[in-house]
Amino acid sequence: MAPSATHPLAESGLNFIATQHKYAEEAAKRLRPDGLAQYVELKDAESDRFKAIGQDPWVDHAALNAQDPAVKEGETYKFAILGAGYAGLLFAVRLLQSGAAKSADDIRLIDAAGGFGGTWYWNRYPGLRCDVESYTYMPLLEETGYMPTENYATGSELLEHAERIAKQFELTDKALFRATAHSTTWDEDNQLWTVKLTEDRGPGETAVDVQFQAQYVLIASGILTRPQVPKLPGLESFSGPMFHTARWDYSVTGGSPTDSNLVNLRDKRVGFLGTGATAIQALPQLAKSAKEVHVFQRTPSAVHWRGLKPTDPEVFRTQIAANKGWQRQRRMNFQSYLNNAPEPGQANLVGDAWTELRAFSAVMGTPGHIIEPTADKIGEHVGRLYALDLDRAERARALVDKVVKDKDTATKLKAWYPVWCKRPAFSDDYLDCFNLPNVHLVDTDGKGLSSATKSGLVFESKEYPLDVLILGTGYRTPAIGNGSPAARTGIDILGRNGRSLEDKWQPQGASTLHGLGTNGFPNLFFVGPSQGASAANYVLVLDIGAEHMAYIISEANRKNKKVLEVSVEAEQEWTMECLKRAAWFSAVAGCTPGYITSEGETMKPDSSVEERMKLAQAAGWGEGVASYVKILEDWKAAGELQGYV
Ligand code: FAD
Ligand code: NDP
């Protein structure tokens, strides 16, 4: 809901009103009737070409085939963790530290990838880095004693760190890779989960179906794991090399994940489709190497300053990592700005551009402000957020004018949406690229491309001839299926009496205790966007969840309880508490489409009350991370595993 021009905050200036109108106009241009259906996931594509693009470029089949498989048909393990990215690793480590797992041998990790790392395994495009400070983002820095080399680590360093954690906690031989989990089914007789997966053995080898059992299943299968491409007429007919950024093809570009000198592009005209967070990081590397780069833009990203620098070991040792517990403190300190709730006088420990984005609290929550779900209260709340964001938004637009010399290009690069509608981008060199003679912006003014041909991309009957086409077109939204962990991961989750999680979640909406477990699905835990904490640093969310789950399971062990299940009353109560706070997130309704709004599908004006309720139910905790953590701590202090039966 956009705030009205007569809103009291409109007094803050004419700009406020004009900006709201511009935002609404730009969002309307981009709303499409096909919503999510405008994309196809690579793995679901009918075309062999797209399927091939979705294959794992990094896997070493020979090495993996030579290993004794970590998971064996018919075996029973205590913990099955589905996913071996940072979430899977954090879950495993917290289980070990809490004593819930006696040793790494209790644990098995399953991943479709060929190694640890998740996001950082799959994504290896040039320029890739974490976008929140490494000291807060990288998991388990205290436990590993690792000092990141820069304040925003490269993708390679983030991948190595996953491997470091696995090694240190003796998980290396506890993971089955190239293994896609299809289903997990509660076996009432044995009080165990039965997991079914298929292990890909590589070209020329027969894939192996494996079935095993586990006492606990932990879903760690990520949020942005399913690369998608637009259903653009003619796209697969493009005759040159074409790949998605999540499967970068260095055999085409030259260079490597640690060498951004893309030598094979020296004489190539490269097309880059998309201008999201990936494009912001990849373009400067392409611009350095390619003969020509055409950047095809539907919606410009708002770009903020970065301030990349090497870590000063002395500062790291004496100031950043000086005290036990520093990493959690630093993460919470950082997040407090995103919740627009730093303590008065508090030092801003990270102090980067993120911490200026107070209006990002629109999707992160804020403590103590529960918004009544009436039109006037919501209007007022949304108006405040827009006003809070205005200065930041104008600074981002001013930055474009300052950096980009050509006025027309600068105009096209300005973002006209509030900060909470898309993941903010940070770069010291993206905008500069548009001053280079070999970089060309093809702005589609919100329309997107018209089609593709054998030789290039077409916008409004003009063809742009290309030799190489790179698709930076993102991922299936994690909000799919009202945030259900089954819909998000594509794993069938069948609980008591064979009832699927989808059969529960879709008619009833998200129903959890603390966003981590749900009734009817004993000994099953997950972390995700619904009914739990939201943080700009997603590893904070994962770690809070991992610690809490490990605590619950270790307590159950101590009490000699083998089966834990969220009670109906507990999930109803928590769902009600979440719903009470869900109106906080109303500002998303006016957003330009993107994965946050399921490409506009969550904003359908004709949606029923029931649909809206489900959306509200699927939101995160409306009072921010500190409040969520306090609730978990109080819950623990009560010591009774309240709400679990
Ligand atoms: P992932 O890292 O996505 O790992 C999930 C794993 O589960 C994957 O390896 C996948 O193969 C596996 N999997 C999924 N389904 C199945 C199945 N059915 N069977 C078997 N395996 C399966 N967040 C931030 O906070 N800061 C950042 O800087 C940041 N940068 C990002 C950059 C990119 C390019 C992307 C795509 C995301 C980024 N994110 C960032 C979000 C990022 O995904 C999280 O920070 C974090 O890495 C997620 O960890 P995860 O283990 O939950 O999921
Ligand atoms: P996004 O979904 O953010 O971007 C996809 C891009 O493709 C958008 O610019 C989109 O335009 C464009 N697009 C899609 N279809 C068309 C079309 N038909 N014609 C023209 N353009 C089209 O994907 P990313 O991979 O960039 O990022 C996904 C998420 O991953 C981020 O939001 C972030 O959470 C994470 N990430 C984090 C990074 C980090 O800095 N550490 C780096 C990379 C990703 P439109 O906006 O109009 O839809």
Q: Is the pLDDT of residue 6 over 50?
A: no
Tens digit of pLDDT for each residue in 279-337?
999 999 999 999 999 999 999 999 999 999 999 999 999 999 999 999 999 999 999 99
- Average of per-residue pLDDT across 410-439: 97
Query: In what helix (H) or strand (E) does residue 19 lie, and over which residues does it extend?
Result: helix 14-30
CATH (one of 3.40.718.10, 3.50.50.60, 3.30.460.10, 3.90.1150.10) for 69-225+477-638: 3.50.50.60
Q: Is the pLDDT of residue 615 over 90?
A: no
Provide the 8-state DSSP code for 118.
Answer: T
Segment 401-430 mean pLDDT: 97
Residue owning the nearest CA to atom 30 of ligand 1: 130
Beta-bridge mates of residue 470: 243, 272
| Residue 594: predicted pLDDT | 87
Average pLDDT over residues 7-27: 74
- Specify the DSSP element, H or E, that contains 617: helix 609-617
Amino acid at 74: G
Q: Is 230 near ligand 2, meaning CB less than 6 Å away?
A: yes
Rg of the chain on CA atoms, in Å: 24
pLDDT at residue 210 in the model? 98
What is the distance of C-alpha 83 from the center of its chain?
A: 14
Ligand 2, residues 278, 364, 426: which to mutate, most atoms within 8 A of Cβ?
278
Cα–Cα dist 206/367, whole Å: 54
Other residues' Cβ atoms within 10 Å of the Cβ of residue 332: 19
Atom 4 of ligand 2: nearest residue by CA position: 276
Return the pLDDT at 604: 74
pLDDT of 109 strictly over 80: yes
**How far lies 518's CA from each of 17, 62, 88, 551, 578, in Å?**
44, 40, 19, 17, 14
DSSP 577-598: HHHHHHGGGGGGGGPPSSGGGT
| Chain segment 572-602, per-residue pLDDT in tens | 999 999 999 999 999 998 899 988 888 888 7
pLDDT of residue 3: 44
309 CA from centroid of ligand 1 (Å): 25
Host H or E run for residue 577: helix 568-582
Q: Is the pLDDT of residue 349 over 70?
A: yes
Instruction: Provide the H-helix boundaries in 306-429.
Output: 313-315, 326-338, 361-364, 375-403, 407-412
Per the listing, tokens 């794992």 go with: 56
Mean of the pLDDT values across residues 595-612?
81
Please state the rounded mean pLDDT for residues 94-107. Answer: 98
pTM for the model stands at: 0.96
Mutating to test ligand 2, I would choose from 134, 229, 423, 592 the residue with most ligand atoms within 8 A of its C-beta, which is: 423
Name the band, by pLDDT with cuts 50, 70 and 90, for residue 17.
Answer: confident
Mean pLDDT in residue range 504-529: 96
Distance (Å, whole) CA 278 – CA 125: 9
pLDDT digits (tens, 9 = 90+) for 61-86: 999 999 999 999 999 999 999 999 99
> What six digits make up the tokens of 636?
């623990």
Q: How confident is the model at residue 611 (pLDDT cuts 50, 70, 90)?
A: confident
Give the integer Cα–Cα distance in Å for 301 and 178.
34
* Residue owning the nearest CA to atom 44 of ligand 1: 538
Alpha helix (H) ranges present in 191-290?
Answer: 250-253, 277-289
For the cut 50, the answer to whether the pLDDT of residue 7 exceeds it is: no
Q: How far, in Å, from the CA of 28 to the mean position of ligand 1?
A: 31
Distance 299 CA to ligand 2 centre (A): 9
What residues contact 18, with CB distance under 8 A and at least 6 apart?
none
Instruction: Give the residues across from 269 on adjacent strands.
Output: 292
Asked if residue 434 has its Cβ within 6 Å of ligand 2, the reply is no
Q: Are 302 and 424 in contact (CB under 8 A)?
A: yes
Return the best residue to mutate from 44, 94, 119 for the ligand 1 pocket (most ligand atoms within 8 A of CB).
119
* Cβ atoms 475, 224 nearer than 8 A: yes
- Helix 568-582, helix 609-617: angle, nearest 10: 100
User: CA 319 to CA 317: how far, in whole Å?
Assistant: 6
Q: Which two tokens stand for residue 53?
A: 């693009």
Spatial neighbors of 356 by CB under 8 A, at least 6 apart, are 304, 337, 392
d(Cα 176, Cα 64) in Å, to the nearest integer?
A: 9
Q: Sign of torsion, CA 375 376 378 384?
A: positive
Mean pLDDT across 1-11: 45
Ligand 2 atom nearest residue 275's Cα: 9
What are the E-state strand segments in 156-261?
175-176, 179-187, 192-199, 208-219, 228-230, 242-244
User: Average model confidence (pLDDT) for the chain?
Assistant: 95
Residue 41: strand pairing partners: 228
Residue type, 317: R
The DSSP call for residue 129 is: B
Q: Which amino acid is at 640?
A: E
270-294 burial: b if 16+ Cβ within 10 Å, else e:
bbbbbbbbbbbbbbbbbbbbbebbb
587 alpha carbon to ligand 2 midpoint, in Å? Answer: 21
Taking the centre of ligand 1 as the mean of its atom positions, its distance from the CA of residue 120, in whole angstroms, is 7
Q: Average of pLDDT values for 459-469?
A: 97
| Nearest of 138, 147, 141 to residue 168 by alpha carbon | 141
The answer on pLDDT for 10 being more than 50 is: no
Give residue 505's pLDDT: 94
Confidence of residue 398 (pLDDT cuts 50, 70, 90): very high
pLDDT digits (tens, 9 = 90+) for 521-571: 999 999 998 999 999 999 999 999 999 999 999 999 999 999 999 999 999
Closest atom, ligand 1, to C-alpha of 87: 51
Among residues of the chain, what percentage have pLDDT more than 90?
90
409 CA → ligand 1 middle, Å: 34
pLDDT at 232: 96
In the prediction, which pLDDT does 13 show? 52
Angle at 473 between CA 467 and CA 476, to 5 degrees: 145
Whether the predicted pLDDT of 14 surpasses 80: no
CA distances to 69, 336, 349 from 313, rounded to whole Å, are 40, 26, 16
Closest protein CA for atom 34 of ligand 2: 423
pLDDT at 4: 46
Name the token pair of 507.
């008619």
Residue 473, both tokens: 């077109």
The per-residue pLDDT for 2 is: 45
pLDDT at 9: 45
